[in-house]
């Protein structure tokens, strides 16, 4: 027998010493090697168990009968049952579960997710969704969890719990449930964490479950006649598809690559899914807040601006010729010409335009693997059309995005004013980087007059004691005014996009009397600490911290109330009595 020491990562991952009887080195381990696992606290006890090694040479213990007992105590589904509840044991348990592809762990009512930054097979399939939905229905009908095979922690379980509590609340309002159920049917799910933790994807997972799960109990059959069931089901299915389509659309305008995440949400959102008494989604509403506008004018090396800028620049290449109209279903007629992007494309730089522009090139305009820009452009156009946007609206939105790209390229030069102060002028002739007429094109694309745009960049108007004062800006101040205008326009554009999404997913007027409750999903985007932090970033981090404190306070109150309940009190009394008066041991025969 030859003992092979495990990699250091395995030693910290699991309290076992691993060895093999078939190989002499880690590189020689086969995909299913039998080995010996020796508990550190009992070196005389040897048990035979199987472990595996993946392509990255990471060793995993399997769920055999010998290893599962140790795993259940060392890395349980719920951290509350850890023998020693402190930071080292918590981190060790999370690490063990993570390297076993179990990225979700409960800690009481909280679900902890560790981002694997890769797709885990068979974790979000319809079959898995049905398992959690079925378990939720069984629990709703009084099934005892202790008699059922436990399901692993999962966002589906959290979403299903919120859904069932909502149904109980509706029943309580109608007097068809016990007094122990919630009087308020509305539920909320808070998804928080630092940047790159996986909040955006988790939000989509939760929403996909809530929009697909149903309930067998009919609370208000008198409100909705059975004859309307078919048409209402079709209506519900239609609004569900639009709610799910809102994700890629909002990601295009509100997400960006950061150093931690290729698809990081740079805004917070609260999604309300509105349900009728049958548990069907009738509509929704999205409330956004704290868009990271500063990213429009400035972002760090290795990061990107909002996705839509790159989608337009790289996706518009396929829009150059009208011959593509019949071959590409996401073709936007005359977009390449109407967006006036021709000045940025020539035979030498057509494939590298994003790296050459101020708005998109500051961070190096890296290409994304999973969120490829051309595919993203096609998905964005498809989502716009599916949500009822007209071709004119689609073209105007992209033209406005192009207008911001043009405006960001406007340059200024120093001039001496007649009053003797330093002023600025727009470099608006062939001496500019991109030729003349840049400001005129920007004004037309944004939808304003060129003279008014020019004045807003070069002058500051103040009113004091009823007198209007015009102050000429120098070149540095003019660049600051340009950046401020870029951020303000984009903020209004994003708000308009959100309002259009809400128009598409809102509850129709005839269905509003059917709404009984809602489930809210709060996605707060991550904590950030840049090399240079703006006041806006301070506000964002402060809001995140305040929400986190509110969340912690709520969880502690729930735990405190649970411990003060009669059931918990009785349990503690029983435990104390047993400790004071232990049961006598039976006499040994013989």
Indicate which residues carry an active-site annotation. 195-196, 200, 261, 264-265, 526, 528
How many CB atoms within 10 Å of residue 180?
8
Per residue, the 3-state secondary structure of 109-144, as one string, reads: CEEEECCCCCCCCCCCCHHHHHHHHHHHHHHHCCCC
Phi and psi at residue 51, to the nearest 5°: -135, 160
SS3 5: coil
With vertex at residue 67, the alpha carbon angle to CA 63 and CA 68, rounded to the nearest 5 degrees, is: 60
Handedness of CA 330, 200, 92, 568 (dihedral sign): negative
Distant-in-sequence contacts of 181-186, Cβ < 8 A, 24+ apart: 185/516, 185/517, 186/517, 186/518, 186/519, 186/520
The answer to whether 526 and 81 are in contact (CB under 8 A) is no
The set of residues, in sequence order, having a beta carbon less than 8 Å from that of 447 and lying 6+ positions away, is 396, 400, 403
- First vs last Cα of the chain: how many Å apart? 45
Token pair, residue 307, equals 């996705």
With vertex at residue 77, the alpha carbon angle to CA 109 and CA 188, rounded to the nearest 5 degrees, is: 25
Dihedral (C-alpha) 152, 154, 159, 162: value to the nearest 10 degrees?
A: 50
Helix axes 155-173, 199-210, angle to 10 degrees: 50
Distance, in Å, from the CA atom of 110 to the CA atom of 156, rounded to the nearest integer, reads 13
The set of residues, in sequence order, having a beta carbon less than 8 Å from that of 49 and lying 6+ positions away, is 34, 35, 36, 37, 61, 62, 64, 66, 67
Farthest-apart Cα atoms in the chain, separation: 118
Phi and psi at residue 512, to the nearest 5°: -60, -35
Distance, in Å, from the CA atom of 395 to the CA atom of 335, rounded to the nearest integer, reads 7
Q: What does R_g of the chain's alpha carbons equal in angstroms?
A: 30
């Amino acid at each position: 027998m030859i003992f092979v020491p495990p990699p250091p990562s395995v030693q910290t991952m699991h309290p076992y010493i691993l060895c093999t009887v078939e190989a002499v080195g880690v590189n020689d381990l086969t995909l299913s090697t039998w080995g010996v696992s020796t508990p550190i606290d009992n070196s005389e006890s040897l048990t035979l168990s199987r472990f595996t090694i993946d392509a990255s040479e990471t060793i995993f213990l399997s769920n055999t009968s010998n290893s599962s007992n140790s795993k259940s105590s060392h890395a349980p589904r719920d951290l509350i049952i850890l023998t020693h509840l402190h930071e080292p044991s918590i981190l060790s348990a999370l690490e063990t579960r993570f390297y076993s592809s179990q990225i979700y762990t409960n800690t009481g009512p909280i679900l902890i997710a560790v981002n694997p930054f890769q797709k885990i097979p068979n974790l979000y399939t319809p079959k898995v969704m049905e398992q959690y939905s079925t378990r939720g229905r069984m629990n709703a009908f009084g099934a005892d969890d202790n008699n059922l095979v436990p399901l692993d922690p999962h966002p589906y379980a959290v979403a299903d719990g919120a859904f069932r509590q909502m149904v109980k609340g509706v029943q309580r309002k109608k007097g068809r449930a016990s007094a122990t159920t919630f009087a308020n049917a509305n539920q909320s799910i808070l998804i928080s964490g630092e940047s790159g933790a996986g909040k955006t994807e988790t939000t989509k997972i939760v929403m996909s479950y809530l929009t697909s799960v149903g309930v067998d109990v009919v609370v208000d059959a008198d409100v909705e006649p059975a004859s309307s069931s078919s048409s209402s089901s079709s209506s519900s299915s239609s609004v569900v598809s639009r709610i799910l389509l809102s994700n890629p659309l909002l990601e295009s305008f509100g997400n960006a690559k950061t150093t931690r995440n290729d698809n990081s949400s740079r805004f917070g959102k609260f999604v309300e899914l509105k349900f009728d008494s049958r548990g069907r989604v009738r509509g929704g509403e999205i409330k956004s807040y704290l868009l990271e506008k500063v990213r429009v004018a400035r972002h760090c090396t290795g990061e990107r601006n909002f996705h839509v800028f790159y989608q337009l620049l790289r996706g518009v290449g396929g829009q150059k010729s009208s011959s593509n109209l019949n071959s590409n279903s996401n073709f936007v007629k005359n977009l390449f010409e109407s967006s006036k992007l021709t000045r940025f494309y020539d035979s030498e730089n057509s494939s590298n335009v994003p790296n050459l522009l101020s708005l998109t090139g500051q961070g190096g305009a890296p290409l994304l693997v999973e969120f490829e820009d051309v595919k993203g452009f096609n998905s964005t156009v498809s989502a716009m059309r599916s949500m009822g946007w007209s071709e004119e609206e689609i073209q105007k939105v992209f033209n406005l995005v192009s207008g911001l790209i043009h405006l960001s390229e406007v340059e200024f030069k120093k001039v001496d004013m007649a009053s003797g102060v330093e002023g600025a002028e727009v470099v608006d002739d062939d001496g500019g980087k991109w030729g003349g007429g840049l400001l005129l094109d920007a004004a037309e694309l944004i939808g304003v007059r060129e003279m008014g745009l020019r004045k807003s960049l070069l002058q500051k108007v103040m009113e004091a004691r009823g007198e209007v004062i015009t102050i000429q800006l120098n070149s540095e101040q003019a660049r600051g005014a340009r950046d401020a205008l870029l951020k303000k326009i984009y903020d209004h554009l994003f708000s308009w996009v959100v309002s259009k999404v809400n128009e598409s997913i809102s509850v129709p007027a005839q269905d509003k009397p059917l709404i009984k409750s809602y489930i809210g999903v709060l996605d707060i985007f991550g904590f950030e600490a840049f090399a240079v932090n703006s006041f806006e970033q301070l506000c964002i981090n402060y809001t995140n911290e305040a929400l986190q404190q509110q969340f912690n306070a709520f969880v502690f109150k729930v735990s405190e109330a649970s411990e003060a309940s009669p059931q918990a009190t009785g349990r503690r009394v029983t435990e104390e009595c047993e400790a004071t008066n232990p049961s006598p041991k039976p006499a040994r025969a013989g």
